[in-house]
Structure 1
Amino acid sequence: MAYYNRVILVGRLARDPEVRMTTTGAAVTSFVLAVDRPVKSVDGQKTADFIRIVAFNRLADFARLYLKKGQLVLVEGELRINKWQSRDGTNVTTPEIWARDIRFMEKKAAVEESIEEFEKPEEFEKPVDEPITDFDDIIGSERDSDGQNPDEPPF
């Protein structure tokens, strides 16, 4: 009999991905995905589940480079249950999703807007006398002939 273990989640990153390397040099990136539950309470309170996602190798590098706190993403993977014994002798069980695919669910402009809005300070600092207005002089060497930055994803 064949077994089937597939999970598809859509949610927002609760924090920036954390990166580490295995002893063999493979990249491992983990992050927490906040997935909203349907509103079922009388008072209309929203609740969310916070699910740990783990990505390996090239997908880990992708997550490290392009994912940021607050982004809406779709994660496809499989459920893994980790079991171990803590120092005080209690048995601990934690679920996590081992990602097979991660996809953006917002357009790039919407992501940039939400990140800017998310990172705005409560109080604005004193304006600089002469702000930089021509960014092409600063980052012009990093752009291709078509005007795209090669370090940015093509979407």
Structure 2
Amino acid sequence: MINHVTLVGRLTKDPEIRYTKDGAPVAYITLAVSRNFKNQAGEIETDFVNCTLWRRTAENTANYCQKGSIVGVTGRIQSRKYENAERRMVYVTEVVADSVRFMSGKPRELAEQES
């Protein structure tokens, strides 16, 4: 079986980084990925894909990317479910990233510091 996904899109907000009980960094991002065709109204629609990043990938993305950054993500699709506070089942589909490539260049603050 093959479960491999490659996406290129813009971050919809700054990466959200947390740490597990064991101290492992985990970051959550949402990518806005434009479709490569127009709908019946002649507009290009956008999908919003939730991604989970672990360890060094999580830390680097949180340190060097921000809302609007263009990134390339490779990883796998994962589905899971859980029961929420109202005792309803919630189903989640997300991309668990193996790697993230920064495609926007350096954030403005870093570029100014190096000048």
TM interval, short-chain normalised? 0.7 to 0.9
CA drift of 1:104 comes to 2.0
What's the Cα RMSD here? 2.0
Show the counterpart of 1:63.
61
Show the counterpart of 2:21.
23
Provide structure 2 residue ranges, at least 5 long, that are not aligned to the other structure: none
- CA distance in 1 between counterparts of 2:104 and 2:61 reads 15
- How does the TM-score come out when normalised to structure 1? 0.65
Does the alignment pair 1:89 with 2:87?
yes
CA drift of 1:98 comes to 0.8
CA drift of 1:45 comes to 1.8
Structure of higher CA gyration radius: 1
- CA distance in 2 between counterparts of 1:42 and 1:82 reads 33
Of 35, 41, 44, which aligns to 1:43?
A: 41
Structure 2 letter corresponding to 1:40: K
Q: Secondary structure at the match of 1:61?
A: helix
Q: How many pairs does the alignment contain?
A: 112
Show the counterpart of 1:11.
9
- CA distance in 2 between counterparts of 1:79 and 1:50 reads 14
> 8 Å contact 2:50–2:94 — kept in the other structure?
yes
Structure 1 letter corresponding to 2:94: E
Show the counterpart of 1:123.
none
- CA distance in 1 between counterparts of 2:39 and 2:55 reads 41
CA drift of 1:106 comes to 3.5
Show the counterpart of 1:101.
99
User: Greater RCO between the two (CA within 8 Å, min separation 6)?
Assistant: 2
- How does the TM-score come out when normalised to structure 2? 0.86
Q: What percent identity do the matched residue pairs reach?
A: 35
